[in-house]
Amino acid sequence: MKIKIALTKGDGIGPEVVNEGIKILKVISDYTDLEVEFQEAPAGGNVWKETGESLPKKSIDIIKNSDVLLFGAIGLPNIPQGVAESAILRLRQELDLFVNLRPIKLYRSLKEQCPLKDEFVGEGIDFTIIRENTEGLYANVGGFLKDEVAVNSMVYTKNGCERILRYAYEFAKTHKHTKITSVDKANILKPSQMWRNIFKQIGDEYPNLEQENYYIDAFCQWIIRKPYAFETVVTGNLFGDIISDEAAFLVGSLGMASSGNIHPGKVSMYEPIHGSAPDIAGKEIANPIGTILSIKLMMEESIRKPKIGIKIEKAVELALDEGRTKDIDNYKLKTLSTSQMGDLIANKLKQELKS
C-alpha cells in the first residue's frame, strides 16, 4: 500500500526532530507492505521571512494531496508574535482537524523522572486527552478596537460539540476504557453548559462507560493528585491546550509527548506537542521521541496499521532502557544526541518488524 506523507519541518528544532521521524518512516517502508513517499510542504517563521507567508498556497496544496502530514514545530523568537503560529491555526481550520489527540503515558523506564511521588503515580499514568481543536476561543471570532479593546469570543456550536464528544465516546469504547471524563467550566460558561448537556445525551448511548464531569480548575489539581485514575479525557480547545502541557510534564519531558490533529477519514496532521524550542535549536540535543510517537499515532489513527504502532512504541521503550537525550535526567545511561536516539529507535524498530 502506498502512502503519501507531506513533511513540514518548520523552525527551530522542528527540522531536527522530523529528520528522525523520517528515519522511522523509512524503516517502515523497508520492512512492511507500506510504501512511503515524501513531499516537503514548508511552513512557519523561516518561510514567512522569505516569502511573507507562513503557509504558502503551494504547501497547502501538497498537504491536501497527501494522506497525512508530519509536522515539526514552528515559531521564531525574532518575528512578530503569532505570525508563524498562524500557519497551524489555518491548517486546523482548512483541513477541519476537529480532534486533537494527546496521549499521556509514563513509560516504565522513565518512572524515576516523573515529578510525582509513587503514591500519586499509582499503577502508572496512561490516559488520552481529546481536545476540541477548531472552536472555542480559537475560533478566531474577535478583534481589536483602537488598540484599547481586545476581544476573543468563546464560540461553540452544537455540531462542533456533538462530533468531538461522539469521537471521544467511540475512542473510549474501542480502546476498551471503563470510564470517560469530561472537563469544562459549566458552573460559569454558557458554552460549557451546552457541552455538558450534549456529553450527557450522547452518553446515554454508552451505558457501559462510566461518565464523570470535572470543572477545569479542579481538574488541574486532580491531574497531579490522581493521574492514574483517568483513561479518556475530553475537553474544549483552550482547556485542552493547558492541561495537556501540564500532563506532559508528568511523563518525563515535554520532548516525549506526541499528538494528532485529526479529521477521521481525511488528511490529518501529526506533531510532537513541544514548540520550536529556539534555545536548543542546532545543538543536536532535542528529544525526537515526541515526533516518533506521533508516527505511532499516525499508524493507528490514519493509516490503520495499529500493529506497526505497537512496534514503534516497543522500539521506543527498548531504546529508553539504553540511552536518553539530555532533557531527561539520567545518571546511569548514555546521553544520546538527537540523531543517535533516532538511529537507536530505528534499529530497535527493524528488529521488531523482522520478528
What residues make contact with ligand ATP under the rule CB under 6 A?
13, 17, 75, 254-255, 274-277, 279-280, 286-287, 290, 327
Q: How far is the CB of 318 from ligand ATP (least distance, A)?
A: 20
Quick one: 194 or 254, whose CB is closer to ligand ATP?
254
Residue among 326, 296, 276 nearest 16 (CA): 276
Find the shortest distance in angstroms from Cβ 231 to ligand ATP: 26
Whether 176 is catalytic? no
Given a contact cutoff of 8 angstroms between Cβ atoms, the answer to whether 271 and 9 are in contact is no
Enumerate the β-bridge partners of residue 136: 155
**Residue 251 Cβ vs ligand ATP, minimum distance, rounded to whole Å:** 13
Are the CB atoms for 277 and 12 separated by under 8 Å? Answer: yes
* Least distance between ligand ATP and beta carbon 268 (Å): 20
138 among known catalytic residues: yes
Given 185, 296, 326, 348, the catalytic residue: 185
CA dihedral 171, 173, 179, 182 (to 10 degrees): 40
**Cα–Cα dist 250/122, whole Å:** 13
Q: CB of 93: closest distance to ligand ATP in angstroms?
A: 18
Choose between 125 and 280: whose C-beta lies nearer to ligand ATP: 280
Nearer to ligand ATP, 46 or 287 (CB): 287
Torsion of CA 171, 173, 175, 176, to 10 degrees: 160
Three-state DSSP state, 34: coil
Helix (H) or strand (E) holding 130: strand 126-132
Catalytic residue among 217, 266, 283, 329: 217
CA distance linking residue 190 with residue 156, whole number of Å: 9
185 is catalytic: yes
Q: Pick the closest to residue 10 from 42, 57, 32 (CA basis).
A: 42
Tell me, yes or no, if 327 is annotated catalytic. no
Strand, helix or coil at 192? helix
What are the grid coordinates assigned to 151, written together? 476581544
By C-beta, is 17 or 303 nearer to ligand ATP? 17
Q: Which residue is nearest to ligand ATP (CB)?
A: 275
If the CB atoms of residues 13 and 36 are measured against ligand ATP, the closer one turns out to be 13
Please report how close the Cβ of residue 45 comes to ligand ATP at its closest, in angstroms: 11
Residue closer to ligand ATP, measured from CB, 101 or 303: 101
Task: Give residue for cell 500532563.
Answer: 247
Instruction: For ligand ATP, give the closer residue by CB, 181 or 287.
Output: 287
Q: Give the pairing type, strands 142-145 and 149-152.
A: antiparallel
* Annotated catalytic residue within 107, 138, 156, 167: 138
Q: What is the DSSP string of 154-168?
A: -B--HHHHHHHHHHH
Smallest separation, CB 353 to ligand ATP (Å): 25
> Cβ contacts of residue 121 below 8 Å, gap of 6+?
106, 111, 114, 227, 228
Which active-site residues does the annotation give? 138, 185, 217, 241, 245
